[in-house]
Chains A and B, each alone.
Chain A
Amino acid sequence: MPERAPDRLLRMLGMVAYLDRHDDVAVDDLAAQFGVTPEQVLADVDTLWVTGTPGYLPYDLIDFDASAYERGVVTLVEARGMTRPLRLGGREAVALVAALRAMAASLGPALDDERAAVLRSALDKVTAAAGDAAAAVDVQLQVAATPQAGAAIGEALARGRRLHIRYVDAGDRTSEREVDPIRLVTEDDRSYLLAWCRASHGERLFRVDRIVAADVLDAPAEDHPVPEGADVFTPEGGEAVTLHLASQGRWIVETTPAEAVRDLPDGSFEVDLSVVQPAWLRHLLLQAAHTVIDVRPPEVAHDAAAFARRALAAYAPLLPADEGS
C-alpha cells in the first residue's frame, strides 16, 4: 500500500526540523532516525528541494548543500521558516499518552530500574508535550504478577536467557518447566509469556499471574520459529458451550473470546464459547452465577453447581447452625 500523503508530509516537516538541529547527517542515519529506507529519504529530500514559498524561484525554496548530498550527507541550507517541530494533534497526543500509561501499568513488574526509569521519563516528556490533552484519559490497569516472577521474566527477555518456571494451570495443578522466553504479551489487564516449552517441544502461552516462581538460568534461550499469531489466545477444538445470560453478564463477552453473541429481545443474550479447559468454564460460571439463565449442555451447569455445593460444605463450621448451606 502506498504511503498516505499526511504521513509523508509529517515526516518531511520532521526532517526539516531535525536537520535544522543537526548538521551533516548521513542519509543512512537520517533513514534510521525516521524509521524509513535510505531510498525513501532520498525521495523525501528531492521533494523538499523543490518546495518553498510561491514564486518557487531558487531563493524561495528549501535548500540543501548539493556537494555534501553527492557524498550521501544531508545538510540543510535554507529552511523557509519551517524549523519548528510540529505540535501533537489532540487525538495523537491522547493515543500516545494512553499507550504509554498502559505500558507503564502492564509492564511494570517486568522492568528493572533502568528500563522503568526510561519509560517514566518518556511518559513525563510526552505528557508535558501533550499539554491539556493528557488529562482526557486516565489509565488504571493492574496486572497481577508475583514481583519476583515478573522481574525474572523481564531479565530473561532482556538478556536472552532460559527460564525455570513453576506454573499453575486453570485446574490448579502445579508443574515445573524450563522454557525459552520469546515475548511478554500484555493485553489490557492480563499478561502472558509466550515461550518455547522444552518439555512439550512447542510454543505455549503462560498466564503471568499463574507463574508463581521463575528463575533465570545461565543457559542462553534458543531461537525457535514461532508461527504468526502465536501470541494471541485462540481456543481451538474445544467443547461448544452456550450460555444464556441476563444483561448484567455482558462483561463476560467483553473479557472472553466468544465464538458468537446473540442479543435477545428482553435484553438478555446468548454467547457461544469454545471451551478447552473445563476448569476455566466452571470458574467463569461461578463468577457469573447471578446472571446465568441457562447453560447448554446441562451437564456443564450440573458440574459447576456440584463444585459450588462441595465448596459450601467446607464453610459449615463458620456458619450459625440455622444458616447452613
Chain B
Amino acid sequence: MAPAIDPAERLLDLVIALVNTSGRMTKQQVRSSVAGYQDAPSDEAFERMFERDKDTLRDLGVPVLTVTDTRHGDDVGYRIDLAAYALPAVQLTPAELGVLSLAVQVWQDATLRADTTRALTKLRAVGEGPSATDLLAGLAPRVRADGSAFGPLVEAVQERRAVHFTYRAASSGEVRERTVEPWRLLARRGGWVLVGRDRDRGAARSFRLGRIQGGVRPVGAPGAFPPPSDDELAGALAAWTQGPERTAAIAVLPDRAAALRARAVEDAGFDVDAVPGAREVLVGRDLVHVRYRSTWELAEEIVGYGAAVVALGPSGVRDAVLDLLRTASRLDIPAEAPHA
C-alpha cells in the first residue's frame, strides 16, 4: 500500500481539482479521483474527511461553491469560484511586508495571531522581496482581544448574523442572556467594545468584550438583519467618539507634576480674574494650561496629584475633580460607603 498522503498535499490536490473542473465535481468524483481520498477506509471516514477539508478551505477564504445540477436529481457537486478566489491587485514592498510581520506579533490571543499569520502568508506572495524588519526594530506593539469573544464576533459582524451570549452589566452587576445584532467592534481605552442592536431591548447597545461570560454563539441564518442606517450607527458610536480638544487651566506647586507640565501649551484666552479665588490659589503655584479631550480622563489624572495640582477650569473639569475628591475623602468612613 502506498504511504498515506500528507493532509496539506490532499488539500492542495482538492483545491487544484476544484479550480480546474469543468462545471463541478461530485463527492464520488472527489473520492475516486483526487489524490489522498482513496486512503479513506470507509464511507463514513471519507464523508468526515471531505466535510472537514471543505470547512477548512472555506475557513481559509477559498470560495468553495455548492452546485446542484437539476439534470442529476439532488446530486450535489462542488467547484471553486475563481472570480471570488483572488486577492485584489496589490503589491507590497519589503518594508511594507516588514510592517505586516510586526503586526502578527500585536495580538496576545493565539487564535487571532494564527489568523494574522495566515493573512501574512498570503500577502507574502505579492511581496516584491523578503520582508525587511530592521525599519521597525525595537518596537513591540501588543493588543489584547479581551477573551475568546473577538473571533466569533468578527465573523458575525461580517455575516450579519445575530449572536447570543451571557453578559454582566456594569451598571447593575446583573448577569443576563443577550441576543444582539452585531454592527461593529471598537478598540477603545480599556478594551474592546461591541456595538449592535439588542433584540430584547429593541435598541442599540454597547457591550464590553471583557464582560461577556463564556462563549458567543451565532443564532439564526447569516444576513438575517439589515445593516444599521448611518444615523443609527452614528448614534450608537457617539458615546465612543472623542470630543474636540479643549484647554484646561491648572495651578501646580513648584517642581511637581512634571508629566502634566511636559504637555503644557499657551492659552492667551484664559482670564484669571474670571475664576473667583484663582489668584489666591495661584500664590506659590504655577499656572499651567493642558490640552484634553475627555473631562473625566483629565479629572482622574489630576486627582492623582492630590494637593499638588488644583483644577481652575473649565468648571466641568473642576467639578469632576471635586466630585472624585469629596467621594474619596469619605473612603475611611464605613457608614458612607457607596451603594452598589
Residues of A that sit less than 8 Å from B by CB? 5-15, 17-18, 21, 29, 32-35, 47-48, 50-56, 62, 80-82, 84-96, 98-103, 106-107, 110, 114-115, 118-119, 121-122, 125-126, 128-129, 131-133, 135-142, 144, 146, 149, 154, 157-158, 166, 168, 172, 174, 181-189, 209-210, 212-213, 231, 246-248, 250-251, 254-255, 263, 266-269, 279, 282-283, 285-287, 289-295, 298, 301-302, 304-315, 317-319, 325
Contacts and interface: CB of A to CB of B under 8 A. Distances in A.
A128 B88 contact: yes
Given A103-B102, A318-B312, A266 B122 contact: no
Interface in B259-312: 259, 261-263, 275-278, 280-281, 293, 300, 303-308, 310, 312
Contact of A51 (B16, B124, B130, B329): B16
Contacts of B173: 246-247, 266-269
Interface stretch (B40-48, B67-75, B183-191, B199-207): B183-191
A223 B19 CA distance: 52
A187 B20 contact: no
Interface in B1-29: 6-9, 11-13, 15-17, 19-20, 29
A99 B103 contact: yes
B187 A126 contact: no
A184 B16 contact: no
Nearest to B120: A96
A250 B325 contact: no
Interface of B: 6-9, 11-13, 15-17, 19-20, 29, 33-35, 56, 59-62, 82, 84-88, 90, 92-93, 95-96, 98-104, 106-107, 112, 114-127, 129-131, 135-144, 146, 151, 154-155, 157-159, 168-175, 184-191, 208, 210-211, 237, 240-242, 255-259, 261-263, 275-278, 280-281, 293, 300, 303-308, 310, 312, 318, 322, 324-334, 337-340
B120 to A, nearest CB: 7
B307 A311 contact: yes
A115 B133 CA distance: 11
A87 B121 contact: no
A-B interface, 4 closest residue pairs, ranked by CB to CB distance from nearest: A267-B173, A247-B173, A89-B61, A157-B138
Contact of B332 (A34, A189, A302): A302
A102 B119 contact: no
**Among A121, A306, A311: residue with most chain B CB under 10 A:** A311
Contact of A305 (B98, B104, B331): B331
B88 A17 contact: no
Contact of A56 (B35, B85, B138, B307): B35
Contact of B262 (A136, A187, A212, A246): A212
Contacts of A290: 324, 327, 338
